[in-house]
């Protein structure tokens, strides 16, 4: 392990891990070769969900399940995890193949979001749930408090709008998948029958659907005001 990595791990987690190999794996992309972050990402995703759900339960004691779910979904997206990774200084420590590095994988939301979850998985294995709870609450910081009302997911909002307007439910269609494996691009269309349609492109299918729903929602709400 390099000295810069050791110093960064100590600064990020409060101490140098007793076993650094899981953290090296958490920072290793498939293009680099060897063991990658994927298994740790699987674990970290579930641990993050639990810690975040518990945190929201404590912070918003009067909110019902539906509102808490909206907050949870907004706080654990790949984009938010990637933003946290950037704020912690993950990028210089990523282990990427030459082509992936040249293709900009070091600033990919997909890669950084996955690595952030993998690091959480590694820290959970190293130090346990209490340590992860402390780490996540520090790393996510004020994000959990942003906005007084729980945000509504654009797909849910669009479906509610369609039902209230007596329109057909929104239908999503994957139009295109392009780009390298470490930085794919998905283009999705959403339509409410023949009434309205919008497209969007993002780094994964779920985010593309969300962006398309947001675009169509703005379109139909704008049309309703004119």
Task: Report which of 42, 208, 183 is spatially closest to residue 110, judged by C-alpha positions.
Answer: 183
Question: Going by C-beta distance under 8 Å and a sequence separation of 6 or more, which residues neighbour residue 51?
Answer: 129, 132, 133, 136, 137
83-114: buried (b, 16+ CB within 10 Å) or exposed (e) per residue? Answer: bbbeebebeebbbbeeebbebebbebbbbbbb
> Both tokens of residue 70?
């909206």
Decide if 54 is catalytic: no
Task: Report which of 105, 93, 116 is spatially closest to residue 203, judged by C-alpha positions.
Answer: 105
Question: Going by C-beta distance under 8 Å and a sequence separation of 6 or more, which residues neighbour residue 57?
Answer: 68
Instruction: Check 41, 109, 117, 209 and give the catalytic one.
Output: 117
> Both tokens of residue 60?
């918003």
Q: Is 94 helix (H, G, I), strand (E, B) or coil?
A: coil
Task: Report which of 171, 172, 198, 199 is spatially closest to residue 187, judged by C-alpha positions.
Answer: 199
> Both tokens of residue 125?
């294995």
Decide if 117 is catalytic: yes
Task: Report which of 160, 155, 138, 157 is spatially closest to residue 88, judged by C-alpha positions.
Answer: 138
Instruction: Check 45, 114, 126, 209 and give the catalytic one.
Output: 45
Which residue numbers are catalytic?
A: 45, 117
């Amino acid at each position: 392990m390099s000295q810069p990595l050791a110093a960064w791990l100590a600064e990020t987690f409060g101490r140098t891990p007793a076993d650094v190999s899981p953290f090296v794996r958490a920072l290793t992309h498939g293009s680099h070769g060897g063991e990658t972050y994927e298994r740790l990402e699987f674990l970290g995703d579930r641990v993050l969900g639990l810690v975040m759900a518990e945190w929201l339960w404590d912070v918003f004691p009067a909110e019902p399940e539906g509102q808490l779910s909206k907050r949870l979904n907004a706080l654990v997206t790949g984009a938010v995890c990637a933003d946290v990774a950037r704020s912690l200084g993950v990028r210089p420590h990523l282990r990427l193949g030459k082509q992936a590095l040249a293709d900009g994988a070091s600033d990919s939301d997909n890669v950084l979001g996955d690595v952030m979850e993998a690091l959480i998985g590694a820290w959970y294995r190293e130090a346990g749930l209490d340590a992860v709870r402390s780490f996540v609450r520090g790393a996510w910081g004020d994000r959990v408090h942003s906005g007084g009302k729980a945000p509504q997911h654009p797909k849910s909002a669009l479906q509610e709008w369609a039902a209230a307007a007596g329109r057909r439910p929104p239908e999503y269609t994957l139009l295109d998948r392009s780009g390298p494996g470490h930085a794919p691009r998905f283009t999705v269309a959403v339509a409410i029958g023949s009434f309205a349609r919008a497209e969007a492109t993002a780094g994964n299918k779920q985010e593309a659907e969300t962006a398309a729903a947001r675009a169509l929602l703005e379109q139909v709400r704008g049309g309703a005001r004119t």
